[in-house]
A and B are shown apart, each in its own frame.
Chain A
Amino acid sequence: MLKKRPPLLLGTPLAFIAWPLIMNFFYRALCRLAWLALLTGASVHAADTPRQIITKAILAESDDARIATIGSLVGQGDESIKILLAAWKEDALFVYTAPDGTRTPVQLTGEKDAKEAQEAWRVDDGQPLKDAGGQPSRLVGSALTAVEHDSNLRRAMKAVLDLLDLSTTDLEKRVRAIQTIGFAQNPDKIAALEARSKLETAPKAKLALREALALIALKDQSDDVKIAALVELKELHTISSTDFLKATIASPEAAANPKLAQAARSALSAVDNHISWVNFFGTIFRGLSLGSILLVVALGLAITFGLMGVINMAHGEMIAVGAYTTYVVQNIFGTGLALSPFGMSISFPGFHATGWAYESYFIFALPLSFLTAAIAGIAMERTVIQWLYRRPLESLLATWGVSLVLQQFFRRVFGSNNVQVSSPSYLSDNWTFNDIIFGWNRVFVIGFAIAIVFGVWLVLTRTSLGLLIRAVMQNRNMASCMGVRTERVNMLTFGLGSGLAGLAGAFLSQIGNVGPSLGQNYIVDCFMTVVVGGVGNLPGTVVSAFGIGLADQSLQQILLNPVLGKITVLIAIILFLQWRPAGIFVTKSRSLEG
């Protein structure tokens, strides 16, 4: 211990405290100087404005030169940097080659006119690009070459934007910028962070600043500073500090100083505690969302199987019909679609919509998916199923045949590859609360499930169709005697069930594959959900879907293995059905065979 102390200013407790303070003072003074130098960096390159530097970067010959030029922007505070770099990333920067051969980088903005042309602004001075006659010219983006970028370049841009982002008004970005600085544990940045701390008002950014400062302090020479930082980190218990805490525990300093090791360990256990809570609530949310998916895919089956007694093995293909409908609608909103099934060629013209108009395709796809799948279901009911109402096992076999035929049909029409369905931006972001991720698609599916369960409940209990459906399902012969056209009701009920499967397909296209075998991935789960819930019982299906979803996700979390989780759930279901053969909620019946 003693040997390690520096030879000067030793021996007295005063010195013991003073040394780090003095060092710290020098440190910060130096950092402030560096920061000032950075801030005034622009004046060093007085000749080049940020716009000119970016122009140089665009015209640079090699990737390396480009990255170096962009790197020289670090520390510049001009608003134009952000705009131009963002435009670059979004492929909105182009190189315009004038008739005389001079190459001018331009930014294209504004609405496209009839000829697809847009306003062109020069990158180097921010002025409109003028043609030979001095008039502002409009250019067509697709006729020019977009300026390329790759991840290395984007990373260089990010470094530039990071410091810029410390003062950005976008909270998320600001937090990310602060974290990046913190994780780098570079003491040079302390001054910048502290300057920001004084101005910062957003609680999230304040926390990030505290974490970043504490992380940087872990690199400090003095154990006391480190311990103080560890106390701070314990209070913050951020997941991102885990690695740094582990590194501290494993460091030789901690081995030498039990107090430090103790502080690090207690900080780590606080973090671990936090993580276990995050996992707990995260698992519940994920379970609810998986349950919602099961509910959405199984609800249609709960009607065709539960109410009508038809074992529809082609239910999965009805889901696929919905998903493919979404695909077609998406392409019609976009650039159109050409299909060549069985040697014919069919082409749908597209609306060429962009932005929000394009992304609204999903809203239109939902009812259309319902309709197409319902029509497909009704066609299937008329041709195959109506002959099999009294023979459930045979309906299983015939519909399996239908499912094989449909799968191959999808292959012939849409190709055997999966097709691309892109999620609209309002479904592909997330909301993070206390480190628990709430994906918007997941939140949406929960809401969606609630909505369609409510809708089905309304249809079944509040409409005359629902009344007829229930009557026919309870006693087909009696209903028929009372003058109900049972054939028609059967047809419509099957249509409703299939339509719900189509809706499920539209939704699944947002979170998974759209391909010929899409339905196969869900069919076993669908049947399980309905059987566990109790056949013919919608509330049972709801309970069982959420139950299976939660069980699956928690087992995955506990067993750390997705397959084992699934197998355990299957075994549990089989055992559960020994105990309650008729499912969670038994539909009471006096019939012997019921």
Chain B
Amino acid sequence: MSAPASTRRIEIIAVAIAAILVIVVLPLLNAHGFISNFTINLWGKYLCFALLAISVDLLWGYTGLLSLGQAMFFSIGGYMLGMHLMLMIGELGVYAQAGKNPLGLPDFMVFLGHTFLPAFWRPFYSFGFSALMVLLLPGVIALVFGFLAFRSRIKGVYFSILTQALTYGGSLMFFRNDMLMGGNNGFTDFKLLLGGDLRNAVPQRNLFIASAVALLLVYVGCRLLNHTKFGLVQRAIRDGENRVLFSGYAAASFKLFIFVLSALIASVGGALYVPQVGGINPSVMTPEKSLEAVVWVAVGGRGTLVGPIIGAISVNALRSWATRSIPDLWPFLLGGMFIIVVLFLPGGLISLPGRVSGWWKRRTAVVAVESAEKPAVVTTTP
């Protein structure tokens, strides 16, 4: 809030340039063969992770709620679209090709000897229904869980531990083959989405564009929200919940709204992630994945909207590189990054320029008390 107007303007310009680059330029370059499909696909995945990171930050950075359940909402979004994608495989599946699946059931069901499609799968033939469920199911779960949790004023670490338990329970549930959601294997081998063959370059490029647009919309939406009174209350809850309560605000309702909203953002990210990666399974749902998303936010800079995006992209790019070049050292790197950011760089990467310039100014003995104080403020008040 107290960030100077110039900084804000720089951010807007930077975001606009980045948006044009990602939404228009990159796909064009890809269409003309300058950028490989592999790269586009990889970056599409990073953009989906950026959505997940924003959803974590909206809760943690802005409202002070560290939710370890975001990976679950992300996966549920993925699963809901995944169900549609599974049914779209139809006669292109392994069993159908072998002539053993006249009904066009998902392969894993044929595997387990099912002879008919369970009722709850049937509506997912419609893309519209599945898209609705991408929003509805995580929304309802977040609403119910959030209502119960915030009503009894669970906060701080208790909230983290409870959401961790929720995610853990969810992953155990989805790991079960009896659940008829593919068990440990989850869903794979997707073929068609809205008539486009996912194995080809064009639908993949469109998905990339869709992810970028979704990210931009979420960014703009959250930015607008932050500038309303709602955003103020949200941050007030983070910094002093009791004072907000005593000022007569129903803090629980505010928190509930944010919790549901961020669940929806995560879920949309998951729904876009699944067709690009080509599968979804319960290992995406574990509490560790939520924590990893928290690392992205912490590295990028929490309490800002650009920070999580930068964090998600940079950490994942680093991961892609590290798992190829130094696989043995990757966990050291990830863990070390976490410790260092928490201890020495609470503002994340995004606070780095401010810090460096602050340090530089002090160094060159320019009397500029205000800007030297800034970086410390950035960590709590964006």
> Contact residues of A with B, CB < 8 Å?
311, 313, 384, 387-388, 392-394, 396-398, 400-405, 407-409, 412, 524, 527-528, 531, 563-564, 566-567, 570-571, 573-575, 577-579, 581, 592-593
Contacts and interface: CB of A to CB of B under 8 A. Distances in A.
Contacts of B168: 524, 570
User: Which one of A313, A400, A405 has the highest number of Cβ atoms from chain B below 10 Å of its Cβ?
Assistant: A400
Nearest to A401: B338
B338 A581 contact: no
A497 B294 CA distance: 26
A400 B338 contact: yes
Interface string B257-272: 0000000000000000
B343 A398 contact: yes
Given A408-B332, A566-B172, A570-B169, A401 B160 contact: no
Interface string B148-166: 1101111011101110111
Contact of A577 (B158, B176, B242, B336): B158
A531 to B, nearest CB: 6
Contacts of B287: 524
B196 interface: no
Given A392-B157, A573-B165, A577-B158, A398 B242 contact: no
User: Which one of B60, B149, B169 has the highest number of Cβ atoms from chain A below 10 Å of its Cβ?
Assistant: B169
Given A405-B335, A531-B158, A578 B152 contact: yes
27 contacts: A311-B161, A393-B60, A393-B66, A394-B342, A396-B66, A397-B298, A401-B295, A401-B339, A403-B335, A404-B335, A404-B338, A405-B336, A528-B165, A531-B161, A563-B172, A563-B175, A567-B172, A567-B173, A570-B165, A570-B169, A571-B169, A573-B165, A578-B148, A578-B151, A581-B154, A581-B158, A592-B242
4 closest A-B pairs by CB: A401-B338, A404-B335, A405-B335, A408-B331
Contacts of A564: 176
Contacts of A394: 342, 346
Interface of B is mostly: helix
Contacts of B172: 563, 566-567, 570
A407 B334 CA distance: 12
A71 B172 CA distance: 51
B336 A412 contact: no
B328 interface: yes
Given A405-B336, A408-B335, A567-B172, A393 B158 contact: no
Contact of A581 (B152, B242, B331, B335): B152
Interface string B311-344: 0000000000000000011011011111100110
User: Which one of B160, B331, B343 has the highest number of Cβ atoms from chain A below 10 Å of its Cβ?
Assistant: B331
Contacts of B153: 581
Given A397-B291, A404-B338, 6 more contacts: A394-B342, A563-B175, A570-B172, A574-B165, A574-B166, A577-B152
Contacts of B343: 384, 387-388, 398
A567 B335 contact: no
B169 A401 contact: no
Interface string B60-101: 100000100000000000000000000000000000000000
Nearest to B291: A400
A27 B127 CA distance: 78
B217 to A, nearest CB: 29
